[in-house]
Amino acid sequence: MSRIGDQEIQLPPEVNLEISGDNLIKVKGSKGTLECKLHNDIKIAQENNIIKVKRPSDQKLHKSMHGLYRSLINNMVLGVSQGYKKSLELVGVGYKATKQPNYLELSLGYSHSIYFAAPKEVKITAEMLKGKNPIVHIEGIDKQLVGQVAAKIRSLRKPEPYKGKGIKFVGEIIRRKAGKTAAK
């Protein structure tokens, strides 16, 4: 049984957390501001730099929301203080990524280039070194948005299991399959 909801959240000194009357939480830090609306049953207690999330009962709904909101608040605190970063690697002959002012231009082996416009809250950079696969870095303060943008870019050309070509996360291991063998 998970005890994530019972864990305390330690606020760094540069992070400020405000709780308004309608269960709206605003977290301000050096990198930006995030906000989240909580369910009416879940309560937040703040003592000095320690945040505790409390649930009214042991119902299944309250237990699940307890852990969920504790994780969401913790992710917001980490996001405004440190930020989140995901990196994607383009594996394939001729695969390129170029960062333009308003969009990311990807050449992924199709007959045309793909132009990907990212949300304003996310910063995208492309790194192309000679002799290495191109790498796309995605940075932001919202963990969910960073992951969603990374997943969307990865879905443009998922890695295939035979040659391993496609867009993969840096450090991701692709399970390879054996190809056809000539039976003689």
Q: Tell me, yes or no, whether 66 and 94 share the same domain.
A: no
Q: Tell me, yes or no, whether 97 and 139 share the same domain.
A: yes
Q: Tell me, yes or no, whether 148 and 104 share the same domain.
A: yes
The per-residue pLDDT of the chain, averaged, comes to 92
Range of the domain at 97: 84-169
Reduced to 3 states, what is the DSSP secondary structure of residue 66?
helix
DSSP letters, 129-164, are: -TTS--EEEEEES-HHHHHHHHHHHHHTSPPPTTT-
| 47-97 tens-digit pLDDT | 888 999 999 998 999 988 999 999 999 999 999 999 999 999 999 999 999
Domain boundary among 32, 64, 81: 81
| 165-176 tens-digit pLDDT | 999 999 999 999
129 pLDDT above the threshold of 80 = yes
Q: Tell me, yes or no, whether 32 and 20 share the same domain.
A: yes
Q: Does any domain span residue 178?
A: no
Q: Does any domain span residue 152?
A: yes
22 pLDDT above the threshold of 90 = no
User: What's 146's domain CATH number?
Assistant: 3.90.930.12
Q: Tell me, yes or no, whether 58 and 127 share the same domain.
A: no
The conformation of residue 111, written as its DSSP 8-state character, comes to: S
Reduced to 3 states, what is the DSSP secondary structure of residue 131?
coil
- 169 phi/psi in degrees, rounded to 5: -70, 145
pLDDT score for 2: 61
| 150-165 tens-digit pLDDT | 999 999 999 999 998 9
16 DSSP β-pair partners: 28
Q: Tell me, yes or no, whether 88 and 126 share the same domain.
A: yes
pLDDT score for 50: 93
pTM of the full structure: 0.89
Q: Tell me, yes or no, whether 61 and 126 share the same domain.
A: no
Q: Tell me, yes or no, whether 103 and 149 share the same domain.
A: yes
Q: Tell me, yes or no, whether 11 and 63 share the same domain.
A: yes
Q: Does any domain span residue 73?
A: yes
Q: Tell me, yes or no, whether 75 and 18 share the same domain.
A: yes
93 DSSP β-pair partners: none
Q: Does any domain span residue 132?
A: yes
